[in-house]
Structure 1
Amino acid sequence: MVLDWGSIKWFVSPDTVPGATSSFGEVVINPTQGHDRHEHPGADEVLYVIEGTGRQTVGDGPEFEIVAGDTIWVPRGTPHSTFNTGWKALRLIATYTPGGEEQALRGLPDFVELPAGDTPVWKPADSAR
């Protein structure tokens, strides 16, 4: 899955692994990018920061810094957002329980499905200069 702000590679989901009840994948948020506040009404989400730095919101709480090794719990139906504040990719592991919430991303206007084996190419917002 490729979006304007980065990409997501799902390793496990109910659609791809028979009997799976959760979805598990790697999220890559490009430098100076992030996604708008949104919620997952049907699933809890756990994020684990693999690499990079960013800012996170969860519910009505204050925005906070995230760094490698941090874990973020997002209860189902809770608005949240993530923004990369670093100069390199912000890499996270995302898990939805129950799985399947990732299907909602397919309806976003910036969604692109890459063929198997293709790698997303990041084009910085100011690359038109």
Structure 2
Amino acid sequence: MLVSPGDVPTMTFDWGSIKWFVTPSGVPGASSTLGEVIVNPGKGHARHNHPGAEEIIYVISGEATQMVDDGEPFTIREGDTVHIPKGAWHSTYNTTWRTLRLIVTYTPGGEEKALEGAPDFCLHDAGAVPEWRPA
């Protein structure tokens, strides 16, 4: 099954956007989740955890400060991969002026549904292009 970016909705938040390409609810038979996450300059995804799934972050481009399991924050850059065990608290902050692009997976899939409860969550239809405005 081929999934192109224009085929799936875009989630937006004050900190950036996400396109989930594979999810258990969107792809018949899928048991994991895979998507592209964009973190805007100077923004971040605050400390949170996923009690039921591990997460893997792969940095496509950009640089950020990453924290895993309440440990000392460290820098992640293009080509780096971060493994976050089930239930581990973590956060990602783009401390640069450039956009941070990540590939993110959840195993098992389904954790992406929790993001729909965020107060700044907005869902844009497949094919729509979100308009960004400064906060």
TM-score (norm 2): 0.90
> Offset at 1:122?
2.6
List alignment gaps of at least 5 residues for structure 1: none
Q: Give the SS at the match of 2:113.
A: helix
Pairwise CA RMSD = 0.8
Q: Give the SS at the match of 2:42.
A: coil
Q: Is the 8 A contact 1:37 1:79 kept in 2?
A: yes
Matches within 5 A, 1:70-109: 70-109=80-119
Partner of 1:39: 49
- Pair 1:54 & 2:74 matched: no
Question: Residue type matched to 2:74 in 1?
Answer: F
Partner of 1:111: 121
Partner of 1:4: 14
The aligned length equals 125
List alignment gaps of at least 5 residues for structure 2: 1-10
Partner of 1:26: 36
**Rounded Cα–Cα distance in structure 1 between residues aligned with 2:99 and 2:43:** 9
Identity %: 60
Runs of 4 or more above 3 Å deviation: none
> Offset at 1:124?
2.9
